[in-house]
Structures are given as structure tokens and as C-alpha cells.
Structure 1
Amino acid sequence: MRRLGTFLSDAWALAAPYWRSEERGRAWLLLGVVIVLNLALVGMNVLLSYWNREFFNSLQDKDAAAFWALLLWWRQTESGPMPGFILIAVVYILIAVYALYLRQALQIRWRAWMTRELLDRWLADRAYYRVALTDPGTDNPDQRVAEDLRLFVDSTLTLGLGLMRSVVTLFSFILVLWALSGPLALLGIEIPGYMVWVALLYAVLGTLLAHAIGKPLIRLNFHQERVEADFRFALMRFRENVEGIALYRGEAGEKRGLFTRFHALMDNWWSIMVATKRLTFFTAGYTQVAIVFPFIVAAPRFFSGAIPLGGLTQTADAFGQVQGALSWIVDNYAALTEWRATVLRLTGFRAAIATARAAQGGVAAAPEARPDLALEGVTLALPDGRVLLEGAAATIGPGEAVLVTGPSGSGKSTLFRAIAGIWPFGAGRVRVPAGARVMFLPQRPYLPLGTLRHALCYPRDAAEVPEAEVLAALAEAGLGHLAPRLDEEGAWDRQLSGGEQQRVALARALLVKPDWLFLDEATASLDPEAEARFYTLLKERLPGATLVSIAHRPAVAQYHGRALRFREGRLVKADPAPQPGEG
């Protein structure tokens, strides 16, 4: 019971913010209309139970006039005016259609709000980066944002409205069933409304047995979400790296990896199939018995003449409605296990984001009203605790050009991450000029989805950058031949060579015009002439900018006034020319 309470508390914590948000007015209005329509459907079912009684009584009495009146228009009955089936059907269909339509409208609005809110949390304070480094158990965040949110909103509305309808149906039909079933004498004791108690006993026993049989599905559904996402992520990685795989002729290894993940998916699916088979054996039998059970229980009163045929069918229908309402958990057990798995995954994801955002430690990068950049007691470590750099202190002034050198793996790129304020392992402080435009160019530039124009202007909004500036930057970066394709969408990270991608990064820098530019092997894919042109352009177009470069080519040193070198876990001043054996 405690675990159930915790689960419901987690589900409420996920759902409640939307209903208190800036959209709460429209959300509550939509929900209210959907609830009213669902209650109207319950009312229509109650009306149909009375119509059903009168219709079957007309058949028993061979009353043709009553038969056609109940089908086509209306008839005065003991229960009052009874509309014809055609009118009831038309109204029922209209209510059912708009109940579904408006529920879907509420669903997409709720999902959109939750998606924005979760993305805001994930992207704020670079939590997405810290989660990826510090919490590998939080797998496949893309699936949690795209798929788990969709399932949560859909399941919450479907199950919540279904439960409400079951409760209203129970109270609506329990009175009908109580009046129709009459008393039952058992061991000298008269039991009023005996069919109500029979339905209650039948549903309680069914619910307990369904939980006992279907409990393993909770764990299996949770795991299935993970292995499905792992397999999908592996396929996505394959798609993104087709050229590298082809060059290495790594098809056999990729196939083994894909099938390993798929077999994990398949093995868990077989376990779900077995558990579902056991549950379905029970639920299918439970449902089939429920069809004839009320007729068996009510048959003695019918054969004794206490009720007519219409009364028997109405009694059976009312019993089925009460039993169905009481059996809501049995009928929705599989859906409930999937919903619980979704809640657990979303709750875990939100907790990982909160932990990442609240985490202390690492190198503190603080903007200050000063012109230079200073490293104070900076220590860099890896996630496994190995120290790369210890107690580093250095100052870089505005307008300087500094080369960072050192053996591969010594921590140069990690130092850039610490300066950017995203590296959580280590200690110390980086003081950066407040208000300065800072830009980092990694060896492999990030090219976002969308048009080439969007990739060039990133992270700025392409609509805000004048056409002339874009074309000029493109030409200066040596990509003028791509000008006709500026508004073409494509997989630019695969269509452009490594050198062309680095030229895109150069064009970006020319468009952003940063005050501080950090280049991490940003020219490694360019030929010497293009590399020289790259740095010359930066010097010409960004004359006041500070350049800090990581590079192994000796020729790069000529564009820098001094160097900082990683040596045995220390950061020391050095000649700009790389030391022999570096790289």
C-alpha cells in the first residue's frame, strides 16, 4: 500500500503543474466539457437499459405497434416517454464523437505544455550535459521526452476518465440493479438486492486474482521501454555514422551489436508474452463468465414469473454494468502496468535533471566585471577520479592569441569545457569577463537539423541575420559554391566533408563576431593553405577578439603570441611552437 501511495504521489507530481499553469483556464474548461460528455454517455447507457426492457417486453408481448414506435419515434411507457432508438443512437454518436475529439484536444495541449516544461528543465544549466556524464542509468532521454510523455498524458486521461465513468456507472446502475434483483432467502436470512452483493463479490475476487497473476508485468513493461529505446538509439547511431562504418568495413560488428540489443528486446518481449498470456487466460475467462453469470443468477425469478423478459435483460445489463464498473482494475490491469512504468521513467528522469542542476563541485566559471580571463587553482579530473590538471593558474588578456599545447589526452579539451562552465569534475575557479561574447569551435562542428542557412547562423536565429552578411561569410569561408543551397534542408553533417564543416564553423564565427574565440583543433581537417587562410581571416575580421587555440600543427604557432603547455598535470608557460613528440 505504501508503494501504491508513492506511485500515485509521483503521478500527481507529474500531472499537477499543468493544471496550475498559465494554461489552467482553458485546460479546466476542456476537462470540464469532456467530463460532462462522459457523464452524458453514462446517462445514455442508463436510458438504453430502460429502452432495452421496453423493447424486449414488446417482443414478448408480440406488440408490433410498440416495437416500431420504440425503433422509429417514441412511446409512452410505465417509465415515462421513451424516445425511439434512432434518436437515442444519433445523440449517443454525437456525444461519443465530441467526447473523443475534445479529449484528444486536451491531450495534445497537455503534452505540448509538459514537453516545453521538461525540455526547459533538461536544457537549463546545461543539465543535459551533466546527466549524460554523471548518470548513465538515465538512458535515452530522447525517448522519455518524445514517447514517455505522450504515453503518460494519453494513459492519464484515458485511465482517469475511464475510472470516473466506472464510478458514475456503478452508482447509476447499482440503484437499478438493487430494485430489479429483489431479495434472496439464504439459510433463513433474507438478503435484499442480492445481485448487487453477488456482483461485488465477483469483482473483488477477480481484482485480487488479476493483481496476483499480472504483477510481473509492472517490472517487464518498465524494462521493455528501456530495451526498445536502446535498440532504437543503436539504429540512430548507425544511421549517423554510416560513412565511418563503411570505411572500416564494420558491418559485421554493427550487425552483432544491433542483434545483441534486439535479442535483449525480444527476450523481454517473450517474458511479457508469457505474463500477458497468463493474465489474458484469466481476464478472458472472467469476461466470458460475466456474460452469462447474471442470467444464471436472475433466471429463477424469470422462470417463476416475477419478472418479464425485458426485466430479465435489464437485470442482466444492470448486473453487467455494475460488475464491469467494479472490475475496472481487472479490465485495465495491463494498461495500468504500462502507465506505472511510464511514470517511473519520467519521475526518474526529472530526478536526474534536478540532481544535475543542484550538483555542486566542478570548476566554477563566474562572469565578473574585468577585461581578462583568469584561472585560479583549477583542478581537472575525469569521471573515474583520475586527475588531469592540478592547481592551474593563468591569465589571458583581451586581444591576446594564446596556443594551448600538450600531449593528446592531457586535458586540453577538458580545460575548454571547464572555461565554458560545463565540466563537473574538479575544483577551482575561472573568472571570465562579464557580458563578453564567447564562442567555442570544436574539431567537429555541430550542424543542427534544418537548412544550411540555419546551420551557418547557429546559435543565432537565421531570420535575424541579413542576407548580405550570410553570403559574405559563406564566400569568405570558401563555401561560396553553396550559396544557391542556403535554404535547402538536408543532413549537412553527412553531405559536407570534414573540411567543409570546419569552414561552416569559420563562417559562424564571422557572423557571431565573438569577443573570445576558443578553437579546439578547429582547423585539423583543413589543408595548410586553407588553415592559413582561416587564421588570417579571423585576425582580419575579428581584430579585437581574443583567440585561444588547441592545435598540434607547428604552423599554427605563428598566429599566437604565447603558449600554455600541459606538462605532467601542470599548466606552464611555454614557447608558442609545439614541443617535439606532441600529438
Structure 2
Amino acid sequence: MTASTGSKSMLTTLRRIGALAAPYFNSEEKWRARGLLAAIVALNLGVVYMLVLNNQWYARFYDALQNKDQAVFWREIVYFCWIAAGFIAIAILKFYLTQLLQLRWRAWMTRSYLQRWMADRTFYRLELARYGQQDGRSPDNPDQRIQEDMQLFTDYTMTLSMGLLNAVVTLVSFIGILWGLSGVANFTILGHSFSVPGSMVWIALLYCAAGTVITHYIGRPLIGLNYQQQRYEADFRHHLVRVREYSEAIALDRGEQVEHGQLELRFGSVLKNYLQLIKKQKNLVAFTASFGQASVIFAFIVQAPRFFSGAIQLGQLMQVNSAFGRVQDSLSWFVDNYDRVAVWRATADRLSSFEAAMRANAGAASALERTPADNARGLRADGFGVTLPDGARLIEGAALAVQPGDTVMLQGPSGSGKSTLFRAFAGIWPFAKGRVSMPDNTMFIPQRPYVPDGRLRDALAYPQPASQFSDAQLVQALNDALLPDLAGRLDDRDAWSQKLSGGEQQRLAIARVLLRKPAWLFADEATSALDADSEATLYKRLTAMVHAAGGAMVSIAHRASVGDHHQRRWTLVPQPEGSGVRYRVEAT
């Protein structure tokens, strides 16, 4: 990577960081945020001022030691205590305000990202994009980006930016002091004499410039390695969560060895990348540690001839060394913080890509024209087409209609896209086109319902607040859904997705329907885990419910017995290869 490429890359990173940081400082909290930031900046300036006072104290204190002046010695000890007390007070207040700003900033960013991630089903579209051909819209592990990356971003943005501010102000404050203390260096090259004023300043600049260049070339692989490390850690954590969620299925399939192997594989990637990270960090630490240790005696070595010749006293020598140390520390900020800058940059890149993905997916409007319809008109779909994320056309130009009082069964080969058709009707599938008129008061039952942990009443009323329903209504819904054993456990808290069987979870989803009483119902294999008698009973109740409300029901099912509860059929008929469309919808 050339210097030009590196500078462009750094400017790109800084623009990304600015774009990520600006919304908070222009938000509804902007005045509090800006006030806290201004206070932190002022306290950082106060820290530098204390360092300047401390540097001046060095000269007086060490001169008193050299001159064995006891009165001045004790006076300077008292003066140092005042400086130290001021420094401690400023440091404590700076720490508190910095942490408070980080906390408020992280809270605002997290809420903002959560709102946009959950809005307009962006979270669902991002997951779909991961399996399609939309590489720019498929960030991995959004949970990690919202939870961990935001904490790292706000932490590193504050600490590194304030550290850089400190370094710049310290450099400005001490470079004049060092210039005045350095004297004029005289030397001869090839018979020509030269005089260089402020020699220690030029030496510090050359020393730190060389260190910065070497640090960059040693540490630049850390940026990519830190980015990958965060991804591998998130992948490993994600699979651990999946094993916990699907623990029963894995145990029944005796899949422990397979899952153990998958976990070992992901953890192996974590370790392999981390080992590379350690090796690169070792090289960086070796150089920065050597660079830092050399700087401790560097000023003494350069100024030793002046001290031993009597040109300067011990106090001035110590003041030169202190000023050189401050200037060198300021100029070495990049050297000392390179590994943290690498993590900061990787985190900013991950958040920027996540931000871009949410923006792109939120703006990716479906070609499907959706219009509301009243119950009397029913559902109509004209020129209806569904495409898979990879671009394959599943259904093209279908014309479908459901009238009030209808019961329609959708059939087709397994994997033919029946559930995808329902997703398009529901408005969550972005790869659809045509025109759909959908009645209000509609409800969908997925084959695998979501059952949140917590109180049973909340799981039953989901996504509505349980307070909207009386206990009598909740109990009646459970009884009607053939779950009488749960009727007395409304306030029990549990991991219901783990404790309830597949059939019980499906009946709980049907209980939600019976509780809310929609007019139009779309059921996707909603009774696949139930016995025939239970299935028949529940279908009769669901059919009676939608007909009483003046609506209709459409079901996906493979069982022939389900057909007994439906008057009409939609069948997905496979089309010949080369036709460009996989299935045609045949309505009977």
C-alpha cells in the first residue's frame, strides 16, 4: 500500500467516523451532548496546563536539590501538592463526564439503530439479502454490531479523539518551552559550520517521524485482522446461541458431534485469526516498547555535553528532559495508539457497512403494488409474480382471488415456494411484483410460530399487550385451542419455546388467532404437528370464526385431511425447464 493509498484510506475512515458521530451531536440531545463535549475539551486543556506547571516546577525543584537549598525544597514540595491536587480533581471530573457522554451517546445510537433495524421489517430483509446476490446489503451478525460495535465505537471515539486533542495541545504548549531550553547546536560537516536553534525540537520531530512511519508499516495488517476477529467471534457466539435454541432437536437427532465439530470449526477460525493478530501485535509491541524506552534516556544523552560543560544546571537538564518527553509523547500518539486505532477503524467500517445496508434495504421498494380492500371485495392479485433473492422467477403473471366465505387450500411440491407466496401477500417479501388488494383485519400463522420467553399471558397475546385482554378471554382462547392445562399458568414465566412441544406451540399460535378473531386468516402448515382429531376440531373453529366475521381462510398443507375443510384449491404446477418460470398457479 502506497502512502497516497494509505492517506486516502485514512481520510475515508475519518469521513465514515464523522458520518457515524454527527447524527448524535445534531439530534434532539445535541445541546447536552455538545455541552458535555465542551466541558471534556476544557478539562483536557486543564490537564495540559497542569503539565506545563509541573514542567516549570522541575527546574526549580532540581535546582534546589543541586544547591542544597532546604527552604526552596520544602516550598516546592508544597507547591507540587497543589499541582497534584488540581491534576487529580480534573482527572476525576474528566473521567466521569467522558463516561457519561459515552453512555448517553451509546444509548442514543443503540435506540436509533434498533428503531431503523426493526422498522419496515429491515431486520428481515437483511437476513434475506445474506442468501441472495446482494453482497452490499448483507452485513453479518447485526446483533453484534448493535451490541458490541457501538460500545467500542463510542468508547474509542471519545478516548482516541480526546487523546489526540491532548497530544496536539501538549505539543503546542511544550514545543516553545523545548525550543527555548534547547539552545543552539553547532556542528561542522565537510569543513562547513552550522548552527541549529531549537535543536531538541528538530531531533524530536525526526525521532517521532521515523517511529510513526515504522509503526505504520509494522502495524497496518492489524486493521484487517481486527475486522475479521470481530466477525469470527460473532459467528462463534451466534452458533452457540443456535445450539441453545435448537437443543432439543439436536439432542433427538444425536447431533452433538456434528454441532461440536461446527463449534470447533468456528472457534478454530477465532483462534487462527487471533494467533495472526498476536504475531502482528508482538512485532508492534516490540518496536513501540523499544521506541518508548529509548526516549527515556534520549534527551539525557543529547544534552549531556551541555550539562557536563556547565552550560546548564541539573534543574534545566531535568526540565529539558521533561519537555522533550512531552513533545515526544505528543508526536508519538500515533505510535502509542496504533493498535487501538486499528480496532477503532475496523469497528467504524463494520458500523458503516451496517448503516449502508439498512439504508439500502429500507429504500428497496418492492415492485408489488398493494392497495387496501374491504371485506366485501376480498383478496385480489393481478399480474402477480414472485422472485427468489437470487433472481430466479418462482411465479409469474398469476391472477388470484379469494371471496368472503371462501376456504382455499394452497398445494404444491415441497420447496415450491408456497410459504413465499404467503410472505408476498403479507407484504414482507421484497421480491414480488404485480397488484394485490388485501383486506384489513388479516392474520398469518407461520408453520413455526415465535413464542417469546416470559409470562405465558404475554406469549399468548403477542404482539399485543396482554393488558388488552381479560383473564377470561385468555383462558377461553387456551381452552378453545385445546390447551386447558395451560389455562391456570397465565402468570408463569418460562422459556416456552423450549418447554412446549411443537404441537403445543402450534396450538398456542392458534389460540392467539382465536383471541384476536381476524376476518381473514392465512395458515401455513399451522396444524402439521397435531393429531387428526385435534386438527379437525381446530379447523372447524377457525373456519367458523372467519365466516362469522365475513372473511375467508387460505391454508398451506400437505395432508389430504386438511383438504376436507377447504372448498377451493390453488396448485403450484411445475413448468418445463427453459420456460423461465418454475411454477404456474392453477386455481380450481
Q: Provide the secondary structure at the position in 2 that maps to 1:343.
A: helix
Match of 2:159 in 1: 158
Label 1:517 to 1:217 Cα distance change in 2 as closer, same or farther (>3 A): same
Match of 1:80 in 2: none
User: Contact (CA 8 Å) 1:206, 1:330: kept in 2 or not?
Assistant: yes
Gaps of 5+ in 1: 74-82, 575-583
- Report whether the alignment pairs 1:411 with 2:437: no
Label 1:7 to 1:84 Cα distance change in 2 as closer, same or farther (>3 A): closer
User: Contact (CA 8 Å) 2:446, 2:525: kept in 1 or not?
Assistant: yes
User: Contact (CA 8 Å) 1:138, 1:352: kept in 2 or not?
Assistant: yes
Q: Hey, what's the Cα distance between the residues in 1 that align with 2:345 and 2:187?
A: 43
- Report whether the alignment pairs 1:525 with 2:520: no
Structure 1 moving runs of 4+ over 6 Å: none
Match of 2:149 in 1: 148
TM-score, normalising length: structure 2:
0.91
RMSD: 2.0
Q: Hey, what's the Cα distance between the residues in 2 that align with 1:487 and 1:95?
A: 51
Gaps of 5+ in 2: 1-6, 132-137, 575-582
Q: Provide the secondary structure at the position in 2 that maps to 1:232.
A: helix
Q: Hey, what's the Cα distance between the residues in 2 that align with 1:369 and 1:52?
A: 86
Q: Which of residues 320, 324, 329 in structure 1 aligns to 2:325?
A: 320
- Report whether the alignment pairs 1:110 with 2:105: yes
Q: Which of residues 438, 445, 449 in structure 2 aligns to 1:441?
A: 445
Q: Provide the secondary structure at the position in 1 that maps to 2:454.
A: coil
Q: Hey, what's the Cα distance between the residues in 2 that align with 1:17 and 1:499?
A: 47
Q: Mean Cα displacement is larger for which, 438-447 or 384-393?
A: 384-393
Q: Hey, what's the Cα distance between the residues in 2 that align with 1:10 and 1:523?
A: 49
User: Contact (CA 8 Å) 2:54, 2:80: kept in 1 or not?
Assistant: no
Match of 1:79 in 2: none
Q: Hey, what's the Cα distance between the residues in 1 that align with 2:491 and 2:317?
A: 71
- Report whether the alignment pairs 1:554 with 2:560: yes
Match of 1:181 in 2: 182
Q: CA deviation at 1:539?
A: 4.0
- Report whether the alignment pairs 1:570 with 2:584: yes
Q: CA deviation at 1:475?
A: 3.4
- Report whether the alignment pairs 1:507 with 2:521: no
The one-character-per-residue Cα deviations of 1:164-198 (angstroms, maximum 9, x if unpaired) are 11111111111221222222123322222211111
- Report whether the alignment pairs 1:234 with 2:235: no
The one-character-per-residue Cα deviations of 1:373-423 (angstroms, maximum 9, x if unpaired) are 111122223334443323211111234332222222222111101101222
Label 1:97 to 1:474 Cα distance change in 2 as closer, same or farther (>3 A): farther
Q: Hey, what's the Cα distance between the residues in 1 that align with 2:112 and 2:288?
A: 39
Q: CA deviation at 1:484?
A: 4.9
Label 1:170 to 1:554 Cα distance change in 2 as closer, same or farther (>3 A): same
Which AA in structure 1 matches 2:401? T
Q: CA deviation at 1:120?
A: 2.3
Which AA in structure 2 matches 1:533? T
Q: Mean Cα displacement is larger for which, 162-171 or 215-224?
A: 215-224
Structure 1 segment 210-221 matched on structure 2, within 5 A: 210-221=215-226
Q: Which of residues 231, 250, 258 in structure 1 aligns to 2:255?
A: 250
User: Contact (CA 8 Å) 1:401, 1:546: kept in 2 or not?
Assistant: yes
Q: Hey, what's the Cα distance between the residues in 2 that align with 1:39 and 1:271?
A: 39
Q: Provide the secondary structure at the position in 1 that maps to 2:493.
A: coil
Structure 1 segment 360-439 matched on structure 2, within 5 A: 360-361=365-366, 363-368=368-373, 371-433=377-439, 436-439=440-443
Q: Provide the secondary structure at the position in 2 that maps to 1:367.
A: strand
User: Contact (CA 8 Å) 2:453, 2:497: kept in 1 or not?
Assistant: no
Q: Hey, what's the Cα distance between the residues in 2 that align with 1:453 and 1:166?
A: 57
Match of 2:207 in 1: 202
Match of 1:486 in 2: 490
Q: Hey, what's the Cα distance between the residues in 2 that align with 1:289 and 1:368?
A: 79
Which AA in structure 2 matches 1:314? Q
Q: Hey, what's the Cα distance between the residues in 2 that align with 1:290 and 1:308?
A: 21
Q: CA deviation at 1:341?
A: 0.8
Task: State the aligned residue count.
Answer: 561
TM-score, normalising length: structure 1:
0.91
User: Contact (CA 8 Å) 2:128, 2:389: kept in 1 or not?
Assistant: yes
Q: Hey, what's the Cα distance between the residues in 2 that align with 1:105 and 1:484?
A: 46
Label 1:98 to 1:388 Cα distance change in 2 as closer, same or farther (>3 A): same
Q: Mean Cα displacement is larger for which, 549-558 or 466-475?
A: 466-475
Match of 1:168 in 2: 169
Label 1:399 to 1:322 Cα distance change in 2 as closer, same or farther (>3 A): farther
User: Contact (CA 8 Å) 1:135, 1:352: kept in 2 or not?
Assistant: no
Q: Hey, what's the Cα distance between the residues in 2 that align with 1:449 and 1:314?
A: 65
Label 1:381 to 1:296 Cα distance change in 2 as closer, same or farther (>3 A): same
Q: Identity of paired residues, percent?
A: 49
The one-character-per-residue Cα deviations of 1:344-383 (angstroms, maximum 9, x if unpaired) are 1111112222222232455443435674211112222333
User: Contact (CA 8 Å) 1:437, 1:515: kept in 2 or not?
Assistant: yes
Q: CA deviation at 1:258?
A: 1.2
Q: Which of residues 350, 356, 364 in structure 2 aligns to 1:359?
A: 364
Q: Provide the secondary structure at the position in 2 that maps to 1:301.
A: helix
The one-character-per-residue Cα deviations of 1:434-482 (angstroms, maximum 9, x if unpaired) are xx13221111111124332222121112344444433332333333433
Q: Hey, what's the Cα distance between the residues in 2 that align with 1:354 and 1:389?
A: 28
User: Contact (CA 8 Å) 1:41, 1:96: kept in 2 or not?
Assistant: yes
Q: CA deviation at 1:501?
A: 0.8
Q: Provide the secondary structure at the position in 2 that maps to 1:201.
A: helix
User: Contact (CA 8 Å) 1:57, 1:309: kept in 2 or not?
Assistant: yes
Q: CA deviation at 1:84?
A: 4.0
Match of 1:304 in 2: 309
Match of 2:4 in 1: none
User: Contact (CA 8 Å) 2:369, 2:435: kept in 1 or not?
Assistant: yes
User: Contact (CA 8 Å) 1:510, 1:538: kept in 2 or not?
Assistant: yes
Match of 1:224 in 2: 229
Q: Mean Cα displacement is larger for which, 376-385 or 436-445?
A: 376-385
Label 1:207 to 1:497 Cα distance change in 2 as closer, same or farther (>3 A): same
Q: CA deviation at 1:314?
A: 1.5
